[in-house]
Amino acid sequence: MASGKNSKAVRNARAAVVHQRSTPWALIAAILVVVLFAGGVVGYYVVTKNDKDAKAASLAAYTPSATNQDPSTKIQGVVAQKYAGGQHIDRTVQVAYTHSPPFGGSHDYAWASCNGVVYPTAVRSENLVHSLEHGAVWIAYNPDQVTGGALDTLKAKVTGQQYTVMSPYPGLDQPISLQSWGHQLKLSDANDPRIDEFISALRLNTYQFPEPRASCNETDPTVFSQDNPPPFVPAPAPGAPGAAPEVSADAQAVVPDAGAPTG
């Protein structure tokens, strides 16, 4: 039988082993990682929300209302012109537009799909003008001058955004041109804050375009195909044989889209 002295020694040895167990650094590190990750997520959310709130506050003055029906008047460089809606032409006809890109006047019976669509190739102006009549904002850009990061910046403002459309426009006299019905703004910098101001002021601004609640979706791909749109052709000169005038003198030519409000 072990002596009491030996038993005590054994107990002391066991106690020493228990007290000498290593600190669980791996567990502590894992907990620290989780805490830091959670803090990062919360921090990101707070920063993102603050950025969104700041942007919303900066655009408040460019939000349409009954008492602020055309906020674009506060944006330096916007050109405005009144146009009657519903002046439709056949797909075989070109319009002798007086502005390049055009932003109102006679247009094709079919509108270009315009719910967040970024067209990789230049699109027929007559279809895009019809999209403006429905409340869309069209961002046109000179493909020789806007590339890389600047192009990505513009795409991010359009992709997935209702009643917004973008396409290259060959020969554009400025790198970027924004159009809504009866309004245009030409710019040189994709980071210009006036781009967001223009979109806020005029996209779906029911005080400024003829056909509220009209669609921006593709309807009949045999008439206008989003995946294979009719190509851009430069506008003919005013008075060119076979060309339609930008503004029709015939009141009977004004025919709203089927189902569109007329009041």
pLDDT at 23 (0 to 100):
78
pLDDT at 24 (0 to 100):
84
pLDDT at 223 (0 to 100):
92
Per-block average pLDDT, block size 10, for the chain (263 residues)?
Answer: 58 56 81 85 68 74 97 98 95 96 97 98 98 98 98 98 98 98 98 98 98 94 96 95 89 71 48
Rounded Cα distance between 141 and 197, Å, is: 18
Q: Which ranges in 59-182 belong to alpha helices (H)?
A: 125-133, 148-158
CA atoms within 13 A on the CB side of 234: 7
pLDDT at 58 (0 to 100):
82
Rounded Cα distance between 66 and 87, Å, is: 27
Rounded Cα distance between 95 and 89, Å, is: 8
CA angle 85, 161, 108 (to 5 degrees): 30
Rounded Cα distance between 108 and 124, Å, is: 9
Rounded Cα distance between 70 and 80, Å, is: 10
pLDDT at 38 (0 to 100):
79
68 neighbors 88 (Cβ within 8 angstroms): no
